[in-house]
Structure 1
Amino acid sequence: MTEHAHAPDVSFDGGNLDCGNGLLLLIRKHIDPLGPGRLLEILSSEKSVVEDLPAWCRLTGNELVSQLDRGEHRSFLVSKGAFDPVAFQKSGAQRESMPLTQEVIEVQIPASLPDPAPAPPIAPFSVMGVGSWPRPNWLLRSLHERLEGRLSDDEFDAAAQDAVRLAVQAQERAGVDVITDGEQRRDNYASFVGGLLDNCQLIPLTDLLPYVDHPEEFQRELDSLDVPAAEVRHPAVFGPLGRSRPLAVHEVQFARTLTDRPIKVALPGPYLLTRTMWMECISDRAYADRDELAKDVIRVLREELHYLLAEGTALIQFDEPVLTEVAHGAHATGGRSFMCGALGERGETKAELGFATELLKAVFEGLPEERLALHVCRGNWSRDESVALSGDYAPLLPLFEQVPVGTLVLELCTPRAGDEAVLRSLPDSRRIGVGVVNQKHDRIETVDEIIAKAQRAVDLFGAERVLLNPDCGFATFADNPIAAAGVAEKKLAAMVEASRRLRGG
C-alpha cells in the first residue's frame, strides 16, 4: 500500500528531525488549526519517529490512524483527537502540502527607548488585585480558537475587550484603588509571552512530556498536583527572541480608556521566563546555553518596561513564583518539576537564587523603583492547599534586599507562607503588598480579620509601607480559575472597607 485509506487535510515533510529536535513544534504548528477529527500527514526520514510519534499521540489524546513505509521515508497519518471515519468522509477533506519550515524572524532591536511618563502615586493601604481575574466562558472558547488558529486576532481582541470591561467594572464596584485589566487576553500569567515574542511558539504541556526523562512518571506527578496539563501551554523557543509586538502595552492602553484610576500590569519575571523557555533539544537550536537565552529575555523585558512606563503605568509587577520552588522544593540539588507552569530544569538552590537575583537586577537597573514590584507566592494552579509549597521567606531575603524594586507583593494570608516577621529586616525603601485574603477559599474574610492581618504588617513595617492585596491572582491559568468572579469582587470589597478604617475613614 502506497496511500492511506483516508486523504489528509494537511501534509508536511519533517525531514530528518526527531521528536526531541523540533519535529513536535512543526506537528503542533500544523495540527492546531485543524478541527477535531481532521487528518495531518507527517513525512519523516528519522527512524526514531516510528516509536516516539505513537507515544506522543497517546500523551496528547490524538490518534495515529495509519502509517506507511515508502522507502527513504515513512508517512504517518494523525487525527486531531479521536478519529471517526464516517464523519470524516461526510465532511470531506481538502489536501494541503506544507514544506519543512519553522520560519525564523529577524530580530529588530530599537535604536532608542522612551523615557518614563508621570504616573499617579499609590497611597499607603491602597487595595489592588495581584493581576488575573476569572474569564467568562465565552472568552475561554474564543481564547482556544485563537490559540488553535481558528479565530483571527481582531475577532479575539473584540471579545477580550468586552471581558476587560467586565473585569474593570467589577474592580471599580468593589472600590479598589489600583486597577488591572484582569489579564483577560492571556492563556495564563506567564506563557502568553511565548505567543507574542518572535521565534517562540506556544505548545500544550503534554507535547513536552517526551523531553523529560520519565514522561509517564512526570504525567502522574502532574495529575497528583492537580495540574491540567492538556490545557496549560508552554513556550518553546526555536530562534533568537525578539519583541516586534508589545507584551502588555496594548493592555494598559485599553484599560486607560475605561478608568481614571492608577493602572497596574503584571509580567512574568526574567528568571521564570528563562526557566520556562530553556528546554533542552529545543532552545539549544537558537542558544548555546541558558545564560545566552537569559540575555535576550532581559533585553525584551527591558524594552517592554520602557514602553509601559512611557504609557504612565503606575505599577509594573514581575511575577516570580518559582523562587519558592527553588527555596522550598523537594530537590535542593536541582531537577525538573512543575511549578506554576515552569517545566524547565534548574540547578542547586544557592546557584539558582544567585542567577535569579542577577537577572532581576539587570531588568530593573536604572528604572524608577517606586513603579516596580516583585510578586512571589507558592503556587496558584489549584484550590488544594496541600499540593502547594510551604515555607517562609527567609531564604529569599538576600534576593529581596538586592533587587531594586519599590514594592514586594507577597502571599502572606495562608499559613503556608510562614511568619511575616522574617521580613522585618528588609530595607525601609521596600513597601509590602500584604496578602490579606486567600483567593483559594470561597469564604469571604471579615473586615475585622483583614484589619488584624494588616495591623500586624503595620506593626512590623510602619503604616507608610503597607499595601493590601490577595495572596495571588484569582485566575492565574485561564482554564483553571481559583475563584468565581462574584467571590473575587466580594473579597476586594471587604479589603476596601478594611483599608477605609485603617486610614481612619
Structure 2
Amino acid sequence: MMESSSQHAYEPAVSFDGGDLDCGNGLLLLIRKHIDPLERGQLLEIQSTETSVESDLPAWCRMTGNELVSWTKDGKRRSFLVSKGAFASGAMRAGPIDEALEREARQRASIQIVPVAIPASLPAPSPAPSIRPLSVMGIGSWPRPRWMLQALHDHIEGRLDDAAFQASADDAVQLAIAAQLRAGVDVVTDGEQRRDSYASFVGGLLDNCQLIPLTDLLPYVDDPQAFEQELRALDVPAADVRHPAVFGPLGRSQPLAVHEMNYVRSLTALPVKVALPGPYLLTRTMWMECVSDRAYSSREALAADVVRILREELAALLAQGATLVQFDEPVLSEVVFSGTTSQRSFMCGALSEKSDPQSELAFARSLLNAVVDGFPIDRVAVHMCRGNWTADESKAMTGDYRPLVDTLAALHVGTLFLELCTPRAGEMALLKGLPDWQRIGVGLCNQKHAHVEPLDEVLRRAERAIGLFGKERVLFNPDCGFATFADAPVSGAQIAEAKLRTLAEAAAILRERHGV
C-alpha cells in the first residue's frame, strides 16, 4: 500500500461517498457503477470510513487493471483517487469536478431495490415449426465481429445507449443467421450476439441484479491471493467477463431473450432455438455470501425466484413461437468432474457453496423440472459440456457420462444436446439407457479445434449414434457454442460455418441413406 498524502494532486471527474461499506459488502457494486461510464484515464474519488478498504482497494485495482493514484486520511475518513485504467498525469492535472457528470453518475450509481412484479398467469404456447430427425443446428453462440464486441463493452459500461446497441446487434445477428443459412442448418439461433456470455447476460436484465467483472470477486473469496493466481492461469480475459451480483429480490420486468427470438423470426422461417442459462447454473452463479445473502436467506430461497423467472421467460418464448428452448447446465460437469481449483473457478459457480455430488445433482434436477413443469416436453431441451472458455482441451474437464446418466434421464426435457465429439466426453454407448422419448443432440464436431472434421469421419460418428439411438431420436450439433464468452471465442466465424456445413452435408447423405 502506498503512503497516504495530505491532499490529492489531481481532481476527479466523479466523486462518491461509500460510507462504512467494505469491499465485500456492497462498496464494489457502487465503485463499479461509478467507474464503468468513465473514459479510460479519468479519475474517480471514493470516500470511505471503513478501515479494510485501505488494503482491499489496492488489491482490487491491481486485479482489474485500474490504478490507485493517491489516498488521503483525515481521522476516520479516507479518500481514494482511482484512475480507470492506467493513469496519465499529463492529461489529468486540473479542472474541478464536472457537476453535470457527477450528478448523472450519482443518479446512475445509486443502488435502489426495484419492486418485483409477478404475473398472475403465464401465456400458453403457440404453434411452431417442428424439428425433423437428423436436423443440424448450432448449440447457441457464434463469434461476434470486433465492432460488436466494442458495442457490448460500451453498452455494459454505460457509454452506448440501448437504441444504438440494439441497432449494432441487429446487424451482427443478420451476419450470424446468414452464415448458418449458407451452411445449411435446419434450425437457427441468433448466435447470442447481444450477450456478453451465455449466462451472465441475465444479470444485466434482471431487476435488483448487477453485472460486475469476474476480477471484482476478489474480496468475496477466502483466499484472494490464490484466486488472483487462478484467474491468471485461466485462458480467458477475466477482466472482460462479467458476473451477476444480486442485491435485492430478483424480478423480470423486461424479457431476457424474447426480443432476440422475435428478431430472428423476422429474418427466417426456419425453426428457432433459444438458449437460456439453466436454473442450477444461475443459482450457483448468483449465490455468493456477502452479496446475495443480503437479499436471500438461503440458496434455496434464491433458487425459487430463479425458477419463477425462467418459467416466465420460457412461457413468453413459447407463446411467441420459439420451436425449442434450451437450458444450459454445464456446471453439472463441475459437480462430478471438478479437479483443480482453476477449473472449478471458471465453471461459473464454484465460488458459491456446494454440497456432495449426489445432493447437488438432485437439487439441479428438481430446479430444472420445476422450470419446465407443464410445458410441452418436445419444446424444451438441456445442453451440457465440460467447459468451453478456451480452445485448449487440457484446461477443460474430463469424464464420461456414467455419473450423469441417471440425472439426464430424470430431466423432463425432450432433447439433450451433448458433448460427444471430444475424447474428454467418453464413450457414446454409455447413453444407450436414456429414455426412448428423449432425443439426443449428438456432438459431431469439436468447436475447439481449428481444423474442419473430414466428412467421412463425421459420417462414421453419426452412423454410430443412429445405431445406438435410432434415426428418429438423433439430431446433429457441435459439442458446444463457438463463442460461449464473447471475448473468448474458441473458433472464428469462417471455421464455424465450415464445420456446420460439413454436418449439413453429412445429414443430407444420412437422410437419403436411411429414408428420413
**Which residue is 1:109 aligned to?**
118
- 1:311 corresponds, among 320, 338, 348, to 320
CA pair 172-32 structure 1, distance change in 2 beyond 3 A: same
**Which residue identity does 1:365 align to in structure 2?**
D
- Alignment partner of 1:381: what SS? coil
Runs of 4+ in 1 over 6 A off after TM superposition: none
**Which residue is 1:52 aligned to?**
56
- 1:27 corresponds, among 26, 31, 45, to 31
Assess if the C-alpha contact under 8 Å between 1:340 and 1:380 holds in 2.
Answer: no
Assess if the C-alpha contact under 8 Å between 1:42 and 1:76 holds in 2.
Answer: yes
**Which residue is 1:385 aligned to?**
393
Rounded Cα–Cα distance in structure 2 between residues aligned with 1:27 and 1:342: 25
Shift of 1:92: 7.6
1:258 partnered with 2:267: yes
Shift of 1:396: 1.1
**Which residue is 2:184 aligned to?**
175
**Which residue is 1:429 aligned to?**
437
Give runs of aligned pairs for residues 198-209 of structure 1, distance below 5 A.
198-209=207-218
**Which residue is 1:473 aligned to?**
481
**Which residue is 1:146 aligned to?**
155
**Which residue identity does 2:229 align to in structure 1?**
R
Assess if the C-alpha contact under 8 Å between 2:338 and 2:344 holds in 1.
Answer: no
- 1:369 corresponds, among 367, 377, 381, to 377
Shift of 1:393: 0.9
**Which residue is 2:195 aligned to?**
186
TM-score by length of 1: 0.97
Deviations 1:216-257 (A, max 9, x none): 222222333313211111000000000001000000000011
- 2:427 corresponds, among 416, 419, 423, to 419
**Which residue is 1:129 aligned to?**
138
Task: Pick which of 315-324 and 51-60 moved more.
Answer: 51-60
**Which residue identity does 1:437 align to in structure 2?**
C
Deviations 1:69-111 (A, max 9, x none): 2334211111111111211238885252638831111111112
- Alignment partner of 1:202: what SS? strand
**Which residue is 1:64 aligned to?**
68
- Alignment partner of 1:51: what SS? helix
Rounded Cα–Cα distance in structure 2 between residues aligned with 1:494 and 1:167: 17
- 1:482 corresponds, among 461, 482, 490, to 490
CA pair 377-364 structure 1, distance change in 2 beyond 3 A: same
Assess if the C-alpha contact under 8 Å between 1:125 and 1:499 holds in 2.
Answer: yes
Rounded Cα–Cα distance in structure 1 between residues aligned with 2:248 and 2:439: 39
Deviations 1:452-490 (A, max 9, x none): 111111111111000000000000000111101001111
Rounded Cα–Cα distance in structure 1 between residues aligned with 2:66 and 2:196: 22
TM-score by length of 2: 0.95
Rounded Cα–Cα distance in structure 2 between residues aligned with 1:468 and 1:59: 41
Assess if the C-alpha contact under 8 Å between 1:204 and 1:233 holds in 2.
Answer: yes
1:88 partnered with 2:92: yes
- Alignment partner of 2:69: what SS? strand
**Which residue identity does 2:78 align to in structure 1?**
R
- Alignment partner of 1:21: what SS? helix
Rounded Cα–Cα distance in structure 1 between residues aligned with 2:144 and 2:344: 30
Rounded Cα–Cα distance in structure 2 between residues aligned with 1:349 and 1:399: 11
Give runs of aligned pairs for residues 334-345 of structure 1, distance below 5 A.
337-340=345-348, 343-345=351-353
CA pair 331-143 structure 1, distance change in 2 beyond 3 A: closer
Rounded Cα–Cα distance in structure 2 between residues aligned with 1:91 and 1:366: 61
Deviations 1:262-288 (A, max 9, x none): 000100000000000011100011001
**Which residue is 2:297 aligned to?**
288
- Alignment partner of 2:443: what SS? strand
For the aligned residues, what is the CA RMSD? Answer: 1.7
Assess if the C-alpha contact under 8 Å between 2:151 and 2:160 holds in 1.
Answer: yes
- Alignment partner of 1:199: what SS? strand
**Which residue identity does 1:200 align to in structure 2?**
C
Rounded Cα–Cα distance in structure 1 between residues aligned with 2:375 and 2:210: 30
Size of the aligned set, in residue pairs, is 503
**Which residue is 1:218 aligned to?**
227
**Which residue is 1:245 aligned to?**
254
Rounded Cα–Cα distance in structure 2 between residues aligned with 1:388 and 1:91: 50
- Alignment partner of 1:262: what SS? coil
Rounded Cα–Cα distance in structure 2 between residues aligned with 1:293 and 1:36: 36
Rounded Cα–Cα distance in structure 2 between residues aligned with 1:341 and 1:9: 35
- Alignment partner of 1:299: what SS? helix
Deviations 1:274-315 (A, max 9, x none): 000011100011001111100000010000000000011001
Assess if the C-alpha contact under 8 Å between 1:340 and 1:381 holds in 2.
Answer: no
Give the gaps of 5 or more residues in structure 2. none
Rounded Cα–Cα distance in structure 1 between residues aligned with 2:80 and 2:210: 23
**Which residue identity does 2:451 align to in structure 1?**
R
Assess if the C-alpha contact under 8 Å between 2:188 and 2:273 holds in 1.
Answer: yes
Give the gaps of 5 or more residues in structure 1. none
**Which residue identity does 2:367 align to in structure 1?**
L
Rounded Cα–Cα distance in structure 2 between residues aligned with 1:78 and 1:24: 13
Rounded Cα–Cα distance in structure 1 between residues aligned with 2:446 and 2:226: 31
**Which residue identity does 2:46 align to in structure 1?**
I
Task: Pick which of 309-318 and 342-351 moved more.
Answer: 342-351
Rounded Cα–Cα distance in structure 1 between residues aligned with 2:57 and 2:237: 22
**Percentage identity across paired residues of the two chains:** 64
